[in-house]
Amino acid sequence: MSARAFDAIVIGAGQAGTPLAGRLNAAGMSVALIERKLIGGTCVNTGCIPTKTMVASAYAAHLARRAADYGVTVSGAVGVDYKAIKARKDKVSGASRTGLETWIAGMEKCTLYRGHARFESANTVRVGDDLLTAPKIFLNTGGRASVPDLPGVHDIPYLTNSSMMDLDVLPSHLIVVGGSYISLEFAQMFRRFGSEVTVIEKAPRLTGREDEETSAAIQSILENEGITVHVGADDIAFARKGNGIAVTFSAGKPPAVGSHVLLALGRVPNTDDLGLDKVGVSVDQRGFIVVDDQLRTSVPGIWAMGDCNGKGAFTHTSYNDFEIVAANLLDNDPRKVSDRIEAYALYIDPPLGRCGMTESAVRKSGRRALVGQRPMTRVGRAVEKGETQGFMKILADADTGEILGCAVLGPGGDEAIHCVLDLMYAKAPISTLARAMHIHPNVSELLPTIAQELKPLA
């Protein structure tokens, strides 16, 4: 069988692979784009777009229940039509996927292959009966939910973040195993839909990468809505119990018995079935593809982008990977992974926006630092909206004025954080933020005030 030759092969039509195929095609290169599942990857199909669509529905239900707090009368109890929520989610997600498919179909020199790609050599890939060759190959194969081999886990019908998107009934009691970002978004969302929700986390606190006060504030927000939270849980095991599922943990604690169990225990990269070992592409102990600062793998002519390289687990880091690769290959612009600043959000309500270093990371660094903080109870816009849970915190270097990090847990925190993030990219000192005039009334208008009130980090 003769192989069909291309200028480039892109494996995975996610948030890095699809735009890269577009850039390469626009540059006059012939491209083979390979996708074994759904165009758009995790973000479009089981991640950001569908979940945040459901978060919006959950917020609407929550606000409707609080209508009386704002002097608004709602006749009767607030109900939730879960099938309609799912239909709305499917419509929004489907429209995004269709838009990408239409864009790909319009690329003059891009051929879409549906199937599982495996390396035959460093420049040859097989997809079913098709053999494809190219001097440049780009991997954007993403990741999937981790399912640890916990006792009884394979004896129950557990859910993951992906299969949750197919659920068409509202759980009467959802047990979420895991206490990080994905798990907590689902926990609050389904509590607002009307499910009883229990969160079980083996670590001593939720969202372990955050500062302790942030974790405590997040737990308080969830518990205030009636979510049961167990942290420090050990010996987690599962068993069927009648029509439900029992989750046992921590000797002496009564088991949690629910109708559904969601496993949100991390992610693993989709790298184990690509034939990487056949061509010598190096992976680390967790299966992530090892890349350099420009996302080149250990094999010349092969790059890895997105969740499969372990350099970030977000849509924005994946898209930035595309930008770095395209800039280096097409624009003579030597961009690097190490140039970017860590930034992400937790989409509970109120959301957490984070950038740069946490307070604990600053302490570990040993550098002299300044810190400023303000609770949302002292933020006019939050008070006016009746949403005063959370706080804002800024950290700066005491000697240079460099902004080190920021956390905004409160209304609009996922948007307000960019005020600080952009200044960090501009390498502007904290004095720049302190002198800025922000619009009133707004949550972010208090960031300059905090910057004017910094104190030494004790």
Residue 2 has pLDDT above 70, yes or no: no
According to the model, what pLDDT value does residue 65 have?
Answer: 96
Mind listing the pLDDT tens digit for each residue in 39-48? 999 999 999 9
Q: Which residues contact 422 (CB under 8 A, 6 or more apart)?
A: none
Mind listing the pLDDT tens digit for each residue in 242-299? 999 999 999 889 999 999 999 999 999 999 999 999 999 999 999 999 999 999 999 9
116 catalytic per annotation: no
DSSP sequence for 21-57: HHHHHHTT--EEEEESS-TTHHHHHTSHHHHHHHHHH
- The CATH number that domain 153-265 falls under is 3.50.50.60
d(CA 286, CA 270) in angstroms, rounded, equals: 11
Residues present in the chain in total: 458
Selecting among 116, 173, 260, 440, the annotated active-site residue is 440
Say whether 446 sits in a helix, a strand or coil. helix
Q: Percentage of the chain with pLDDT > 90?
A: 98
Residue 386 has pLDDT above 90, yes or no: yes
Residues of the chain with CATH 3.30.390.30: 343-453
d(CA 408, CA 393) in angstroms, rounded, equals: 7
Residues of the chain with CATH 3.50.50.60: 4-144+268-339, 153-265
The fold of 4-144+268-339 is: FAD/NAD(P)-binding domain (3.50.50)
Kindly report the average pLDDT of the chain as a whole number.
97
The fold of 343-453 is: Enolase-like; domain 1 (3.30.390)
